Amino acid sequence: MGAPEKCIDLCGAGVVFKLAQSLGSDLVSKRQLDEWIELAALATIADIVPLRGENRILVREGLASMKNTERPGLKALLRESKIIGQDLQTYHAAFIIAPRLNSAGRLKSASLAVDLLMAQDESYAYTIARELCFLNEERKRIEQAVVEEAAASVDNMDEAARQGILMVDGEFWHPGVIGIAASRLADKYSKPVVLISWEGDRGRGSARSVPGFNLYNALYSCRDSLEQFGGHAMAAGLSLNRTQVAEFRRQLLKQAQIDKPVADTTVYLEGELFSHELSIEMADELKKLEPYGEGNPVPLFLIHHDRVEQAALVGSNHSHFRAIVQPGNIPLIAFGRSEWINYPLKQCRFDLLASLEVNSYLGRENVQIKATHLIPTYRQQTTILDQPLINVLQQTIDILRSGQPAVFIFPTYRVLCYYQQLLRTLIRPDLLYPLHGHLSSEQQLTATTDLLRSQSRLFLITEPYWHYLYRLKHDLLKTPGLVVKLWSSHQSPRVSDKEKHYPERAAYPQLRLHEIMPKVSSPALFYINNTDTKMRLTGLSSASVTVSDWSFSLPDYDEYSDNHHNQPDLWLAKDNGTHAQQVVLADPPYSEYEALILASQIKTAYSPVSLKVDFDEEQLKSVRDTLQQLYPERSMIAKMAAWMSNFTTKGLIREELGTLVADITRTTGFLFNERQVLNSLRIMSDLGLCLYRKKGSIIEIKVLSTTSPTLDLADSSYYREGQAEKRAFAKWEQWVKEQMAW
C-alpha cells in the first residue's frame, strides 16, 4: 500500500479501496475500481478525515465518477435529492447524500442504506431512495424539536449552570438525533454540550466538545457516576441511571472549572474582496483548489459591501437565508441561518465572511456568495470601538429600527468629522445625516427638515449648531428617540430625559505631555493633521506604527451648485491588531478633544496617559493662524459687509478672485487673502446678505438688500462653529505651553 505516512489519514473504506488497488489488475479490474472509488470517496467525506494526500485524490476522482454513476442505488438517491447530473462537490456528499444514508440507522435500520447501495433493480432502488429522503426529513424535524427544547432550557439556566459546559436532559428524545443536536448546540453556544435522553430511569447521552477541551478526559473523571461511556476528545457517548445524574452534573461542572473550556472562535481568512469586483472567473480560479473539506477548508474572504437587500427565507422549512449584496447585485445564500432575517439589515453595516461559488440556474451561471458569518460591524470591539460606544450604538440601532431619530452631538466640527468617518463603517451611510455650519444652505435645510419631521435617521450635529437650531426652532423641535453627547464640552440645551454621554466624564483619560525620545520603541499611535507629515511618516509604516490621520482641507463651498459633497477627507487610525502603548503627536492637535480621543485608544496601566510631543511652538502657532484664516473675526466680517454695501444697487459682482481680493484690501485698508474672503462670504451668506458661487478663478456675488441695521453673527452657524473651534484650541494651546514650558 506504500509508505505509512501516505495512508495515515485513510478512513476504513479508503483502506479497503487501497488494498483492492494494490492487488493488481489480475484480481481486480480497472472497471471495478472505478465503481468502488465512488463509495470510497463518499465514505472519506462522511467520516470527516483530512482531505490531503491519498484522500484528496480519492475524493476528486470519486466525485467525478459519481456524477455519471452506473450504480442504480446511488443514481436513484441523486435523482431523489435533485442533484442528478450536477458537478458534485464535497458539499453534496457531506450535506445531501451522507445525511440521507445515515438517517436509516438513526431512525430505522442501517441495512436500508446497505440495501440501496447494493441494489441492482432500479425500481427497488428508487423505492429505498424515496424512503431514505423521507426519513431524512423526519430526522431533521425531530432534531430541530430537540435543539429548540434544549436551547430553551439553556437560555433559562442561571449564570452558574451555564459556566464552562452545558448539560441538558429531556424525556424521550430520540437517541438517533441527540448527537447531531449536541453538535449544533456546541456550535451555537461555543461550549461543550452534553445531552441526555431519558426513557424511564435509564438515560442515554451524547456529547460534543469545542477545540481545546478534551471531552473524553472530562467524562473519565466522572466515571464513578456513569454506567458506561466512550469516545474521544471531541465527541462521546454515555449511559447512566437517573439516580446518578445529580452527582454526574456536579462532577462535570467541577471538571469544567478546572479545565476551563474556551472555544477558539478565530476565523481564518484568505483575504479581502469587494462585492462589485466578484466574478465568475474569480470563482472558477478558486475551484481549482477543490476538493474542499477537513484539512483543506473552503477559502473564506471578508467581502466589503455597502448593503444587504431583498432578504428572504428559502427552503422547504424556511431555514436558509437569501439576499442580494450591493454593489454588484451579487446573490447571497446562507444555509441554516434563518435568524439573519431578524438582523438590522436596513440600519447597520456588517462584516460578511463568505466563500465564492458558481451557481447554475436554468442554464445560466453566475457567481454567488455562500456566507458563513454576517456580524454587525459595530459589535466588533477594537481599539477605536470600545464597549461603552458599542452599547451606545446598540441603543441607536434599536431607536432607528423603531422609526425614531437619534442625535449625536459633538463639541467641534473636527470631532464630528472624525466620528462621521467611523460611523460610516458601522451604520448604513444613507441613514447618516450630518448637520453643521460647513454644509451648504440647501444641505442644512434638507437635514433640518428631516430632523423636525422626526425621520428615522442618525443626525450628527455640532454643539454650536445644536444651540443655533435650538435658538431658532425651539418650538418645532420634537424629542428625538436618543440624544448622545460625545466628549461634551458643556451643558447643551436638554430636549430629552434620555440624554446620554459618551464617554462618561469620569472615564476621560488624564493627559500628560513629554518630549519625544529619539527613537520610538514600543507600538505607537501617530497623530498627524497635514500632508507634509504624512509624507514624512510614510517610511515608518509597520506593524508597530498606527497613523491617525486628521488632515483635511475645508471643502469648497458653492451656494449655487447642485453637487454638494462638502465632506472632509479624514481617515481614522486603522486597527492593525497591535495595541498601541503610546501616542506620538507628530503635529499639534486642534483641541484637547482630539488628544483625548487618541489617549482613549491606548492600552496602558499608567495614568495619566503620556503623549509624546514631536512638534514645536512654531507649529502650534501655525495651527492658530490656520484657524484665523478659516474662521474670520467679527472685525473682518464687518469690513467685508461695509465694502459690499457699496454694491447694493449694482446687485451682481463678477470678478477674478485675485482682483476682488486686491480691491477689498485697497478699499477697506484691511489685509485680506483669498481664503478669508471666501469664508467671510460664507458667513454673510448665512446672514442673508448675499449669495455667491465660485467657478475656477471667477467669483460671482449677488448682493441682497437687508433692513437690519446691525449684524447678529449668532445667526451664522458657520461663525458659531468657528468660534467653538478657536475657543477649544486656545484652551489647548495654553495647556500645551504650560506643560512644555514654552
Rounded CA separation 694/717 (Å):
21
Which of 11-20, 206-215, 486-495, 643-652 has the weakest average pLDDT? 486-495
CATH number of the domain enclosing 338: 2.40.50.460
Read off the DSSP letter of residue 533: H
28 and 131 housed in the same domain: yes
Residue 621 lies in a domain: no
187 and 106 housed in the same domain: no
207 and 309 housed in the same domain: no
Q: What is the pLDDT of residue 7?
A: 72
Residue 735 lies in a domain: no
Residue 150 lies in a domain: no
397 and 473 housed in the same domain: yes
Are 76 and 125 within 8 A, CB to CB? Answer: yes
Does 573 score more than 50 pLDDT?
no
State the pLDDT confidence band at 262, using cuts at 50, 70 and 90.
Answer: low
State the pLDDT confidence band at 241, using cuts at 50, 70 and 90.
Answer: very high
Are 212 and 223 within 8 A, CB to CB? Answer: no
543 and 641 housed in the same domain: no
Q: What is the pLDDT of residue 576?
A: 45
582 and 654 housed in the same domain: no
The mean per-residue pLDDT over the stretch 557-584 comes to 50
Overall number of domains in the chain: 6
316 and 199 housed in the same domain: no
The mean per-residue pLDDT over the stretch 375-395 comes to 87
683 and 592 housed in the same domain: no
State the pLDDT confidence band at 714, using cuts at 50, 70 and 90.
Answer: confident
CATH number of the domain enclosing 84: 3.90.1640.30
Which of 206-215, 266-275, 398-407, 488-497 has the weakest average pLDDT? 488-497
The mean per-residue pLDDT over the stretch 174-181 comes to 91
Q: What is the pLDDT of residue 496?
A: 59
In three-state secondary structure terms, 302 is: strand
Residue 470 lies in a domain: yes
Domain that holds residue 361: 271-378
Does 493 score more than 60 pLDDT?
no
Write out pLDDT tens, residues 273-307. Answer: 999 999 999 999 998 898 988 888 899 999 999 89
From first CA to last CA, the distance across the chain in angstroms is: 82
602 and 635 housed in the same domain: no
* pTM score: 0.78
406 and 339 housed in the same domain: no
Q: What is the pLDDT of residue 233?
A: 83
Average pLDDT value for the chain: 87
Q: Which among 600, 550, 601, 595 is positioned nearest to 580, based on CA atoms?
A: 601
The mean per-residue pLDDT over the stretch 110-121 comes to 94
Does 396 score more than 80 pLDDT?
yes
386 and 484 housed in the same domain: yes
Of the residues 202, 236, 259, the one at which a domain ends: 259
Does 608 score more than 80 pLDDT?
yes
Does 2 score more than 80 pLDDT?
no
Backbone angles phi, psi at 293, to 5 degrees: 165, -160
Are 416 and 434 within 8 A, CB to CB? Answer: yes
Identify the residue with better confidence: 381 or 436. 436
46 and 120 housed in the same domain: yes
Q: What is the pLDDT of residue 559?
A: 41
Q: What is the pLDDT of residue 572?
A: 45
State the pLDDT confidence band at 568, using cuts at 50, 70 and 90.
Answer: very low
What percentage of the chain has pLDDT greater than the value 90?
59
Residue 410 lies in a domain: yes
The mean per-residue pLDDT over the stretch 156-180 comes to 87
Q: What is the pLDDT of residue 506?
A: 86
The mean per-residue pLDDT over the stretch 205-220 comes to 89
State the pLDDT confidence band at 268, using cuts at 50, 70 and 90.
Answer: confident
Residue 731 lies in a domain: no
Residue 465 lies in a domain: yes
Does 569 score more than 50 pLDDT?
no
CATH number of the domain enclosing 196: 3.10.310.30
User: SS3 for 571-623, per residue?
Assistant: ECCCCCCCCCCEEEECCCCCCHHHHHHHHCCCCCCCCCEEEEECCCHHHHHHH
Does 87 score more than 90 pLDDT?
no
Which of 160-174, 197-211, 302-316 has the weakest average pLDDT? 160-174
Burial of 312 (0-12, 13-18, 19+ CB in 10 A): exposed
Residue 571 lies in a domain: yes
State the pLDDT confidence band at 110, using cuts at 50, 70 and 90.
Answer: very high
* Rounded alpha-carbon distances, angstroms, from residue 713 to 11, 348, 451, 689, 716: 82, 38, 24, 12, 5
Q: What is the pLDDT of residue 607?
A: 77
State the pLDDT confidence band at 524, using cuts at 50, 70 and 90.
Answer: confident
Of the residues 580, 615, 650, the one at which a domain ends: 615
